[in-house]
């Protein structure tokens, strides 16, 4: 069961990060499309996923977690076939939107199925293993994508997901056990979901277009103001609505609030960092796609080894030491890339920095995901997971937009340094957040 849930989570995770190496190939394929329009192929998925993950969590609880996982896997199969055969950029964008909708079912369904299947004292270990599937596949996306593209072209980076979807659809019905929340719940506020999507779209439009329009341009300022206002109104509406899109009642759990803040900051740093990685290696160091992919491969390896180990550590001592260790390693990696790695190619200088980032990823990923639901009733897992992944997707959108803006404004080499200053700041902020976690938030208390 854990294997099937993990395979299902690999599909949206790998397709989120693989775009960092697919994106330059798409730019070449659809060279007649403007860079601003093409950027929505990267960000459109993330925005739609952010706006529908909470809704997906509610539908998962109401209609059945097994059913939701299988429907999401079926949608993902359709989406990767559409993307891989897309004749133009618009069709590719449609395929990515379908994949985002699939992810909104797969992520909360697989999380709930796993957490409900294991006793509380093993929950951190189980989530560590599940997080390793998602984290490793997300981290492996750039290196795996580079290898696939080098062999057969960018379309095969999407077709690679077909066997993953088929494994879930064939084995899932046999090994998964259906479960649902029998209590009747109102559907979440769809107006709030629309406000989130429009607010994010408008804000990201301002950031992505700022190099071309200029920050003082009325179009940039108008889009930025409109986005911020819409997002603020969404929060106010959620505070008053009977069935809010973002259930603010969940934030009474201190650990949930802290981990969501950390998830957002970590996503900004991590996804912006990976965009900066590929742009720097390809354009500043002038490495080919395969070599660039190999140079970021220590991250998936480190995450794959350390995430399950981190889950076992959390079962014994809690998430706090994992968070601190991961933040320190991540911050040291950022400092290494800022002060040691330069525009002059040097693999020997690169390896220590990417190793530190890999260790940080392996400890932080299971912490910010598994720690979110600790101390909550089991029937809130899907909703809590949906909110957490929504926050992560928002952070990913912001991180991508910042990295795209840096590259367009100052070029890949200087953008690389600027992005790692953001990584350093986010790493530093994770330490006081970890220290602020209450003893009851640690997984060791679940034995009581």
Q: Are residues 119 and 138 in the same domain?
A: yes
The neighbour count for residue 288, using CB atoms within 10 Å, is: 11
Q: For residue 422, what pLDDT is reported?
A: 95
Nearest CA among 143, 180, 152, 144 for reference residue 65: 180
Q: Which domain holds residue 289?
A: 2-177+247-447
Indicate whether 50 belongs to any domain. Answer: yes
Domain boundary among 199, 214, 246: 246
Indicate whether 119 belongs to any domain. Answer: yes
Indicate whether 184 belongs to any domain. Answer: no
Residue 1 near residue 177, CB atoms below 8 Å: yes
Q: Are residues 53 and 119 in the same domain?
A: yes
Q: Give the residue with greater pLDDT, 148 vs 445.
A: 148
Q: Are residues 237 and 305 in the same domain?
A: no
Indicate whether 200 belongs to any domain. Answer: yes
Residues in the chain: 448
Residue 247 near residue 376, CB atoms below 8 Å: no
Domain boundary among 205, 224, 246: 246
Q: Are residues 241 and 377 in the same domain?
A: no
Q: How many domains does the chain have?
A: 2
The tens digit of pLDDT for each residue in 96-126 reads: 999 989 988 998 888 888 877 776 666 666 6
DSSP-derived letter for residue 345 is -
**448 CB contacts (<8 Å, ≥6 apart)?**
none
Indicate whether 183 belongs to any domain. Answer: no
Q: Are residues 239 and 252 in the same domain?
A: no
Q: Are residues 241 and 125 in the same domain?
A: no
Q: Are residues 264 and 139 in the same domain?
A: yes
CA 94 – CA 414 distance, rounded (Å): 33
Q: Are residues 149 and 240 in the same domain?
A: no
The neighbour count for residue 152, using CB atoms within 10 Å, is: 12
Residue 40 near residue 159, CB atoms below 8 Å: no
Among positive and negative, which fits the CA dihedral 196, 202, 206, 208? positive
The tens digit of pLDDT for each residue in 303-343 reads: 667 766 766 776 677 778 888 888 999 999 999 999 999 99
Q: Are residues 441 and 298 in the same domain?
A: yes
Among positive and negative, which fits the CA dihedral 308, 309, 311, 315? positive
Indicate whether 182 belongs to any domain. Answer: no
Q: For residue 352, what pLDDT is reported?
A: 96
Q: Are residues 104 and 202 in the same domain?
A: no
Average pLDDT for residues 201-210, to the nearest whole number? 80
Indicate whether 58 belongs to any domain. Answer: yes
Q: Are residues 126 and 46 in the same domain?
A: yes
Nearest CA among 8, 25, 7 for reference residue 282: 25
Q: To 10 degrees, what angle do helices 254-279 and 412-436 make?
A: 160
Q: Are residues 272 and 330 in the same domain?
A: yes
Q: For residue 165, what pLDDT is reported?
A: 93
Burial class (CB in 10 A: 0-12, 13-18, 19+), 174: exposed
Indicate whether 108 belongs to any domain. Answer: yes
Please report, for the domain that includes residue 311, its CATH number: 1.20.1250.20
Domain boundary among 201, 228, 246: 246
Burial class (CB in 10 A: 0-12, 13-18, 19+), 226: middle
When mean pLDDT is compared across 32-36, 141-145, 281-285, the lowest value belongs to: 32-36
């Amino acid at each position: 069961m854990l294997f099937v849930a993990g395979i299902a989570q690999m599909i949206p995770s790998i397709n989120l990060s693989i775009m960092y190496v697919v994106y330059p190939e798409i730019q070449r394929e659809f060279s007649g499309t403007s860079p601003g329009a093409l950027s929505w192929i990267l960000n459109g998925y993330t925005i739609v996923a952010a706006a529908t993950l909470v809704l997906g969590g509610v539908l998962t609880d109401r209609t059945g977690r097994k059913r939701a996982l299988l429907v999401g896997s079926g949608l993902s199969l359709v989406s990767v076939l559409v993307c891989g055969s897309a004749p133009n950029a618009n069709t590719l964008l449609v395929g990515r939107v379908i994949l985002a909708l699939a992810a909104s079912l797969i992520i909360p369904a697989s999380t709930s199925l796993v957490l409900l299947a294991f006793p509380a004292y093993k929950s951190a270990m189980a989530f560590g293993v599940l997080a390793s599937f998602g984290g490793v596949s997300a981290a492996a996306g750039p290196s795996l994508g580079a290898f696939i593209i080098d062999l057969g072209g960018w379309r095969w980076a999407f077709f690679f997901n077909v066997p993953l979807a088929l494994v879930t659809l064939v084995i899932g019905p046999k090994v998964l056990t259906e479960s649902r929340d029998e209590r009747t719940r109102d559907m979440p506020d769809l107006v709030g979901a629309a406000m989130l999507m429009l607010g994010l779209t408008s804000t990201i439009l301002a950031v992505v277009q700022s190099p071309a329009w200029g920050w003082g341009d009325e179009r940039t300022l108008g889009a930025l103001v409109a986005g911020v206002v819409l997002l603020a109104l969404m929060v106010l509406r959620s505070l008053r609505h009977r069935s809010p899109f973002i259930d603010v009642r969940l934030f009474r759990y201190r650990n949930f609030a802290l981990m969501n803040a950390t998830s957002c900051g970590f996503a900004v740093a991590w996804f912006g960092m990976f965009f900066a990685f590929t742009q720097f290696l390809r354009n500043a160091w002038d490495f080919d796609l395969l070599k660039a992919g190999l140079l970021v491969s220590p991250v998936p390896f480190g995450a794959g080894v350390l995430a399950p180990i981190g889950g076992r550590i959390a079962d014994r001592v809690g998430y706090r030491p994992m968070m601190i260790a991961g933040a320190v390693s991540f911050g040291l990696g950022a400092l290494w890339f800022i002060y040691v790695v330069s525009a002059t190619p040097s693999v020997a200088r690169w390896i220590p920095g990417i190793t530190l980032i890999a260790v940080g990823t392996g400890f932080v990923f299971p912490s910010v995901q598994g720690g979110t639901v600790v101390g909550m009733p089991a029937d809130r897992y899907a909703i809590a997971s949906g909110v957490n992944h929504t926050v992560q997707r928002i952070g990913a959108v912001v991180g991508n937009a910042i990295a795209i803006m840096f590259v367009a404004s100052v070029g890949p080499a200087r953008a690389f340094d600027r992005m790692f200053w953001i990584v350093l700041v986010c790493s530093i902020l994770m330490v006081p957040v970890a220290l602020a976690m209450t003893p009851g938030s640690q997984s060791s208390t679940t034995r009581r």
